[in-house]
Amino acid sequence: MASEIRVNQIQNRSGLTTTTLNDQGVVVAGIVTANSFSGDITGNVTGNISGATATLTGNIDMKTGGSGNLLLGDDQLLRLGDNNELTIQHSSPGPGNFIEGDSAGKNLFIRSKLNQEQLKLVPDGQVEAYFAGSKKFETTGSGTITTGIITAIGGNLSEGSFLTGTSVGVGTTTTAGRNAGVGTANGTLIYNSTDNALQMYANDEWQVIQKKLPFNVSGGTISNNVNRTNFVTHTFTSPGNFVSGGQITDAEIFVIGGGGGGGATRYGAGGGAGGAMLATGVTLDPGTYAVSIGSGGNGGPGSAQGSDGGNTIFHPGGPQQRQGTGGGGGGSYDSTTNGRPGGSGGGAGARPGSTGGPSSQPSAPGSGTDYGNRGGNYNTSGNGWAPAGGGGAGAQGTDSGPPQHNGGGNGGVGVQLSISGTATYYGGGGGASIYNTINPSYPPAPPNVAPANHKSFGGAGGGGTGGTHPSVTIPPNSSPNQNGTANTGSGGAGAHAGASENFSTGSGGNGGSGLVIVAYPTVDNSVNT
């Protein structure tokens, strides 16, 4: 049988501490020191675990077989990290980082400073982000609210800062609402529902950024203007209709008539280019505008003078009519030697006293800038067999060469315009025929053309190059006359002789047909609205 010692209390030698044994267990008055402890702690621990060597090497396990909690009272801290980097605290915080709930136990706050929110999370509600105690971001049931400036950086190196998504909305207001209550800091952006326009405040005024035409426009060949942002062109190379579903402002209209035909053998002069007109700042009301295109005049057959080109007209008989008059036909040595009048006049044939045809542009109502010039004159004494070049839209035809040079004149240069978005020459005069040249430097070459040896050149803008005598042996030898280029309003070249110097063959070159271009902005860029 085991031995028993039954006592109620054990005292140390000085009697200051006691160990009491009762029916519930052991009560120690003082410090308990043990090399190890085994068993469950089922009561309360009211003292401190302290000391330089007080170390917890095991786990506090509250999940395995248990349902207890780790309890901290108000103002008590759970500190994590060697330097207390993170503190979890309920209620009144001390310095440091805090994750805490409000007094009602509803919201969760993350704070980095005493009583200053950084992040607030509301159950079944919003998330709020703060800067220096000021709310900058909030989620809502329909999206987000941001207070202050949104700056997006990166994402596309070619675009820099940007916002992406299916759409970006700006505040919508009326003109009255804008004037009454919208701030006027430079860069302020609104949608003005009164004007149906996107507007920005800049340079002390509200400026329309872009207002698309809210209607359809048709007719001709439609293309975006190269090098002209928010511009479109309608090009007509044949008759048709320009149809606008609404009012167009600041339109540009260019018309050029058909070029005149070159004179026939022998010593045929160049045909004149069609007259041209450029109108700017035109307002076109809704409606249909007919377009007619002038044909090029035929080159003279046999020994005849060249025929005139046809007129090109935008809106014939209407308030917006604009006309390019057809070019005059070139003269011929064996027929009527004077050049015919036209938008640009035909060149003179190779007889003393012969004159180039005058310009008759403008010859119809309609405001704009007109282009047209006379044909070249015969300026030699005696029979030099030298006809003149047809007039160009940009310059007169070159007069015939000096005596005994037999050099035909170049066609006048056309006019260079950028209505299509690209600088282009229109309406070059036709070059005259050439019998021979003693001086290889005559006639002078037009711009950007190699020096002439034994040719008369058509003017820049499609004018035909003059024919040469078949007996010419110095390069380039004989060459046929050329037609003017289609849809440039250029003049046809003068003919010399046919094969084996047969003066009954070899018709003059035909003139090029006319053209209409209508250009207008696709947005309303007006200011001070």
Which of 131-145, 227-241, 312-326 bottoms out in mean pLDDT, i.e. has the lowest? 131-145
The predicted structure's pLDDT at residue 467 = 66
Cis peptide before 476 (omega within 30 of 0): yes
**Out of 55-64, 235-244, 314-323, least confident range:** 55-64
Q: What mean pLDDT is predicted for residues 250-278?
A: 93
End-to-end CA distance of the chain: 114
- Both 384 and 449 in one domain: the answer is yes
- What is the spatial distance between Cα 463 and Cα 444, in angstroms, rounded to a whole number? 16
Q: 197 with 220, same domain?
A: no
Q: Answer for the pair 276, 415: CB distance below 8 angstroms, yes or no.
A: yes
Domain range for 181 is 172-210
For β-strands 217-218 and 221-224, DSSP reports them as unpaired
In a domain, 69, yes or no: no
Find out whether the peptide bond into 266 is cis, omega within 30 degrees of 0. Answer: yes
Pick the closest to residue 485 from 222, 224, 237 (CA basis): 237
Same domain for 184 and 281? no
Which tens digit of pLDDT belongs to each residue from 453-471? 445 777 787 777 776 655 5
What's the pLDDT tens digit per position in 85-98? 556 766 554 555 66
Tokens at residue 22, please? 């009762």
Whether residue 293 is predicted with pLDDT greater than 80 in this model: the reply is yes
Q: Considering its fold, how many domains does the chain have in total?
A: 2
If asked whether residues 242 and 272 sit together in one domain, one would say yes
Higher pLDDT, 450 or 208: 208
Looking at the fold, whether 327 and 468 belong to one and the same domain comes out as: yes
pLDDT in the model for residue 452? 42
DSSP-derived pairing of the beta strands 369-371 and 322-324: unpaired
Residue 320 shares a structural domain with residue 406: yes
Relative to beta strand 189-192, strand 172-173 is parallel
CB 469 within 8 A of CB 478: yes
Q: Is there a single domain that holds both residue 390 and residue 413?
A: yes
User: Would you say residue 119 lies in a domain?
Assistant: no
pLDDT of 20: 78
Residue 109 is assigned to a structural domain of this protein = no
Question: Which pLDDT does position 164 carry in this prediction?
Answer: 52
Tokens describing residue 97:
């980082």
Asked if 262 and 458 touch (Cβ cutoff 8 Å), the reply is: no
Is 193 in the same domain as 260? no
- pTM for this model (two decimals): 0.61
Does residue 263 sit within a domain?
yes
Type and span of the H or E element at 146: strand 144-146
Q: In the 3-class helix/strand/coil scheme, how is 51-71 assigned residue by residue? A: CCCCCCCCCCCCCCCCCCCCC
- pLDDT, one tens digit per residue, over 334-372 is 778 899 999 999 999 888 889 999 999 987 778 899 999
Give the model's pLDDT for residue 514: 97
161, 183, 210 - which closes a domain: 210
pLDDT at 70: 67
Q: Is residue 71 part of a domain?
A: no
- What pLDDT, in 10s, does the model give residues 461-515? 777 777 665 555 444 444 566 899 999 999 999 887 655 555 556 688 999 999 9
Mean pLDDT value across the chain: 77
pLDDT at residue number 65: 59
Question: In angstroms, how far apart are the furthest CA atoms of the chain?
Answer: 166
Select from 210, 234, 262 the last residue of a domain: 210
Read off the DSSP letter of residue 180: H
CA atoms within 13 A on the CB side of 8: 0
**In this predicted model, what pLDDT tens digit does every residue of 62-76 receive, in sequence order?**
666 556 666 666 667
- CA nearest 300: which of 458, 461, 436, 433? 433
C-alpha angle 277/393/229, rounded to 5°? 55
In the listed set 185, 210, 235, which residue is the last one of a domain according to the structure? 210
Question: Torsion over CA of 221, 227, 232 and 235, rounded to 10 degrees?
Answer: -30
Same domain for 510 and 380: yes
> Are 191 and 227 within one domain?
no
Examine residue 493 and state whether it is found in any structural domain, yes or no. Answer: yes
Looking at residue 208, what is its pLDDT? 67
Q: Please tell me which of 137-151, 415-429, 433-447 the model is most confident about, judged by mean pLDDT.
A: 415-429
CA-to-CA distance for 21 and 91, rounded, in angstroms?
41
Whether the pLDDT of residue 154 is over 60: the answer is: no
In this structure, are 472 and 448 located in the same domain?
A: yes
Going by C-alpha positions, the residue among 273, 287, 255 that lies closest to residue 419 is: 255
Residue showing tokens 């920005």:
200
Predicted pLDDT at 451: 40
Confirm whether 154 is domain-assigned. Answer: no
**Would residue 418 count as lying in a domain?**
yes
Instruction: Judge if 316 and 443 occupy the same domain.
Output: yes
pLDDT value, residue 212: 62
